[in-house]
Amino acid sequence: MTRAPRPRVPAGYRLRVDGHLDDHWSAWFDGLTLAHHSDGTTSLSGAVADQAALHGLLRGVRDLGLTLISVEIIVSTDRSRDRRR
Protein backbone atom coordinates (compact mmCIF):
# COMPACT_ATOMS: atom_id res chain seq x y z
CA MET A 1 0.00 0.00 0.00
CA THR A 2 1.43 3.37 -0.95
CA ARG A 3 0.85 6.50 1.03
CA ALA A 4 -0.26 9.69 -0.62
CA PRO A 5 2.58 12.21 -0.72
CA ARG A 6 2.48 14.72 2.08
CA PRO A 7 2.21 18.32 0.96
CA ARG A 8 5.36 20.37 1.42
CA VAL A 9 4.89 22.59 4.41
CA PRO A 10 6.87 25.81 4.24
CA ALA A 11 8.78 26.83 7.32
CA GLY A 12 8.26 30.42 6.33
CA TYR A 13 8.46 33.02 3.62
CA ARG A 14 10.84 35.69 2.38
CA LEU A 15 9.28 38.81 0.88
CA ARG A 16 11.54 41.22 -0.97
CA VAL A 17 10.52 44.84 -1.41
CA ASP A 18 12.09 47.86 -3.04
CA GLY A 19 13.71 50.32 -0.65
CA HIS A 20 15.19 50.04 2.83
CA LEU A 21 12.67 49.74 5.64
CA ASP A 22 13.56 50.89 9.15
CA ASP A 23 13.85 48.10 11.72
CA HIS A 24 10.75 49.29 13.60
CA TRP A 25 8.63 47.91 10.73
CA SER A 26 9.49 44.37 11.87
CA ALA A 27 6.79 44.53 14.55
CA TRP A 28 4.28 45.84 12.00
CA PHE A 29 5.07 42.81 9.81
CA ASP A 30 4.37 40.29 12.60
CA GLY A 31 7.98 40.13 13.80
CA LEU A 32 9.55 39.13 10.49
CA THR A 33 13.30 39.67 10.30
CA LEU A 34 14.36 42.57 8.08
CA ALA A 35 17.57 42.46 6.06
CA HIS A 36 18.84 45.35 3.94
CA HIS A 37 20.62 44.55 0.68
CA SER A 38 23.19 46.56 -1.25
CA ASP A 39 20.85 46.79 -4.25
CA GLY A 40 18.49 49.01 -2.24
CA THR A 41 15.98 46.30 -1.34
CA THR A 42 14.79 44.85 1.95
CA SER A 43 13.84 41.24 2.61
CA LEU A 44 11.37 40.31 5.32
CA SER A 45 11.63 36.68 6.37
CA GLY A 46 10.33 34.34 9.01
CA ALA A 47 7.59 31.98 10.01
CA VAL A 48 4.11 32.68 8.70
CA ALA A 49 1.20 30.89 10.37
CA ASP A 50 -0.86 30.16 7.26
CA GLN A 51 -2.02 31.49 3.90
CA ALA A 52 -4.33 34.00 5.56
CA ALA A 53 -1.37 35.47 7.47
CA LEU A 54 0.65 35.60 4.25
CA HIS A 55 -2.13 37.51 2.52
CA GLY A 56 -2.21 39.89 5.48
CA LEU A 57 1.51 40.58 5.02
CA LEU A 58 1.03 41.15 1.31
CA ARG A 59 -1.85 43.52 2.07
CA GLY A 60 0.50 45.43 4.40
CA VAL A 61 3.09 45.75 1.62
CA ARG A 62 0.38 47.10 -0.66
CA ASP A 63 -1.05 49.47 1.94
CA LEU A 64 2.38 51.00 2.54
CA GLY A 65 2.80 51.56 -1.18
CA LEU A 66 5.89 49.34 -1.32
CA THR A 67 6.95 47.68 -4.55
CA LEU A 68 6.88 43.90 -4.04
CA ILE A 69 9.77 42.27 -5.89
CA SER A 70 9.39 38.63 -4.88
CA VAL A 71 7.82 36.12 -2.51
CA GLU A 72 9.87 33.02 -1.78
CA ILE A 73 8.97 29.91 0.22
CA ILE A 74 11.56 28.92 2.80
CA VAL A 75 11.34 25.13 3.10
CA SER A 76 12.75 23.46 6.19
CA THR A 77 15.60 21.04 5.48
CA ASP A 78 15.13 19.33 8.85
CA ARG A 79 14.42 15.69 8.03
CA SER A 80 14.40 14.60 11.68
CA ARG A 81 10.61 14.94 11.77
CA ASP A 82 10.29 12.35 9.00
CA ARG A 83 12.57 9.88 10.80
CA ARG A 84 10.41 9.98 13.94
CA ARG A 85 7.27 8.84 12.12
Q: What would the pLDDT profile of 59-84 be if each residue is shown by its tens digit?
A: 999 999 999 999 999 987 655 444 44
Cα atoms found within 13 Å of the Cα of residue 10, Cβ hemisphere only: 15
Of the pLDDT bands very low, low, confident and very high (cuts 50, 70, 90), residue 6 is low
- pTM, to two decimals: 0.76
Q: Exposure pattern of 45-55 as b/e (b: 16+ CB <10 Å)?
A: bbebeeeeebe
- Distance of alpha carbon 12 from alpha carbon 38, whole angstroms: 23
Report pLDDT digits (tens) over 14-52. Answer: 999 999 999 999 999 999 999 999 999 999 999 998 899
Handedness of CA 18, 23, 25, 29 (dihedral sign): positive
pLDDT for 85 equals 43
- The span from the first CA to the last CA of the chain, in angstroms, equals 17
